[in-house]
Each structure stands twice: as structure tokens, then as C-alpha cells.
Amino acid sequence: MPRNLALALIAMSMLPAAALADWSVSAAAQARYDDNVGNAQNYGDQISDEIIGASLSAFQTFTLSDAYSLSAGGDLSGEWFDHLNGLRNAALDGVLSLKRKWGLGAFAPWGRASLSVGRSEFDDSYRDFTTYRAALAAGKRVDPRLNLWVEYSFEHRAAAAGETVEPGISADAFTQNGHRLAASLEYSASAKISVSLSAFARRGDVVSTVQSDEDIYPGARAIEEDPALGEDAYAFRVIGNTYGLRAGLGYALGEHSLLGCAYLQARTYAQGADYVKSVAEINWSYRY
């Protein structure tokens, strides 16, 4: 068990029994189409695929005071790629978050700090990594229909280096660091229909997998073979800026379940890896 998660569980066990609240359990499933799985710049290197994902989460909230609450739990998820077998994966994450509300009721502004650690394992195990993430978020429900929030996060992915491809250049292509800032809104158009919109900016490592490396090679911080995306494919780690926009539409099937669709488009600017990624998604979620 990762050390940070173990410490969080020990801290939770020391809370008084009176502070315990009911467990919150949720499940979700998605079907997605990604038109550029490998984040390639050149059209000839771009690979698309259909992806089915599912997750199961369980969290418990500890009420510390009228203003503060502590949540802890975990998430088990997986992705099945239709054609890219090596990218099929499963992940387990543990999350600990502290939330403060300034006031009572649904319209009180809130802030939250969270820490998480997780492990993702792939059919092609050279892509396995451990994720450490810290985030700060704040939000407010403006009126009964409109909810707004923002989040800043830092994420570190730790992976094992592969075999050296180019002398003098790291083969640790899948270890990444990234800073991300996002702003989101959700609007309830009716009792059953909701609309969501989010925009984000990210600065940090990106991995672009290509078979023709003339453009990206000069800016590469690491190079590693990436056979999951092709026999002659290589993953290049470069620094880049990514800007994205995601729009979603949800329809409440009942008190606890939601059916939705979403579309994401993101543009990354990096030396030799200026690329566009579009993802269309149908999703379902259940929360109890």
C-alpha cells in the first residue's frame, strides 16, 4: 500500500465514531471515440480507437465541525480499447480531501484541498505508472440553476524507464509532471436536463507517439519504444501547453442515475508535437 494512502487510513481510524457519516457509493460507464490516441502531430501518425470505460467509487464523509468535513475513499476503474490491446488498463486510486463551507445551505461558497495516490496497470506493462495528485478547488451555487467552480491541480506520474533508444537521451518517456487549471459551470435547464461546460489549461510533460520523428526529435526529453501503438512506434516526452474545452448534456433517468453525452476538444502546443485531440462520449452514472 502506498505510504501516503496508509497514513490517510490511519488518520481516519483515529476520528471519533460520532463523526462518521454514511458511505456514498457511485458507479459510472462511458463509451468514447478518441480520434488521436497517441497525440500525434502528423495525420499519418494519428491513430483512433473506440474505448469503453467503467468505474466504481466509495467515499465516506467525516463531519469535523459546522464548517469543515473530511472525505476519504477510493475508486476502481478500467478501460477497454477496441483495437489497441496494449492500452487496456485497470486503475485503483485512494483520495483524501478536506472541505470548508463559508455558511450554511446550498448557496454557501466552499473550498476543498485533496490528495490522491493511484496505480494504473496496462496490458503492455511498460506503460504502468503510479500517480500522485494534489488539488485545490473552490465553488459556489449562484442560484438554483447555476453552479460554478474552479480547480488547480498538480500531478506526477512515476513510470519505469524502458530500454535506451538513443544514447544520451532518457528512456523514461511515461514519467510526467503537469500543472492544470480548470473552470467549470453546470446549468439546470429543467428538473431533468442539465448542461455543463468546462475550459482548462495545462502546462507540463506530454507524450506523443509517432513513427516519423523528424519534427519532434529535437525537443524530446525522453524517447521510448511504444509497440502498443505500432511495431515501429516511439513515444516522445516533450514539454507543452494544452488548452481544452468540454461541453456536456445530461438527462436524469431518476433520483440517482444520469445519462449524458459530452464532447472534448483539446489543442497542444509543443516542439514537434502541435496536435489536436477530439473525444466524443456517451456516459451513464449512478450515485447513492
More confident residue, 106 or 77: 77
Q: Is the pLDDT of residue 176 over 90?
A: yes
pLDDT for 12 equals 45
| C-beta separation of 259 from 242 below 8 A | no
Query: Bridge partners of 176?
Result: 157
Is the confidence at residue 29, as pLDDT, over 50? yes
Give the mean model confidence (pLDDT) for residues 135-147.
Answer: 96
Look at 21 and 64; give whichever has higher pLDDT: 64
pLDDT at 58 (0 to 100): 97
Q: How does residue 68 score in pLDDT terms, banded at 50, 70 and 90?
A: very high
Query: Residues 39, 42, 45, 50: is their CA dihedral positive or negative?
Result: positive
Amino acid identity for residue 285 in this structure: S
Cβ partners under 8 Å of residue 121, min gap 6: 89, 90, 91, 128
Domain coordinates in residue numbering, the chain:
31-45+100-287
Q: How far is CA 102 from the centre of its chain?
A: 28
pLDDT of residue 37: 97
- Is the pLDDT confidence value at 31 over 80? yes
* Residues in contact with 143: Cβ distance below 8 Å, sequence separation at least 6, in sequence order: 107
3: left (phi over 0), alpha (psi -120 to 50) or beta: alpha
Angle at the Cα of 16 (from 10 to 17), degrees rounded to 5?
105
Query: Average pLDDT of 104-127?
Result: 96
Residue 272 pLDDT: 84
Using one digit for the tens of pLDDT, what is the confidence trace for 183-192? Answer: 999 999 999 9
Q: What is the pTM of this model?
A: 0.88
- The closest of 158, 68, 86, 180 to 125, measured between CA atoms, is 86
C-alpha to C-alpha distances, 2 to 96, 122, 132, nearest whole angstrom: 13, 19, 10
pLDDT of residue 10: 42
Confidence at residue 278, expressed as pLDDT on a 0 to 100 scale? 98
Neighbour-count burial of 212, counting CB atoms closer than 10 A to its CB (0-12 exposed, 13-18 middle, 19+ buried)? middle
Phi, psi (rounded to 5 degrees) for 229: -110, 10
Q: What is the CA radius of gyration of the chain?
A: 20
CB atoms near residue 107 (< 10 Å): 12
Give 165's contacts (C-beta < 8 A, 6+ positions apart).
171, 223, 224, 225, 234
Residue range 31-45+100-287, CATH number: 2.40.160
Q: Is the pLDDT of residue 77 over 90?
A: yes
pLDDT tens for 199-257 read: 999 999 999 999 877 788 888 999 999 999 998 999 999 999 999 999 999 999 998 99
pLDDT tens digit string along 144-163? 999 999 999 999 999 999 99
Q: What b/e sequence results for 25-42 when a residue is b if at least 16 CB atoms lie within 10 Å of its CB, and e otherwise?
A: ebebebebebebbbbbbb
Cβ–Cβ under 8 Å, residues 60 and 71 = yes
**Predicted pLDDT at 17:** 44
Half-sphere exposure at residue 241, Cβ-oriented, CA atoms within 13 angstroms: 3
Burial of 81 (0-12, 13-18, 19+ CB in 10 A): buried
At residue 271, the pLDDT reads 85
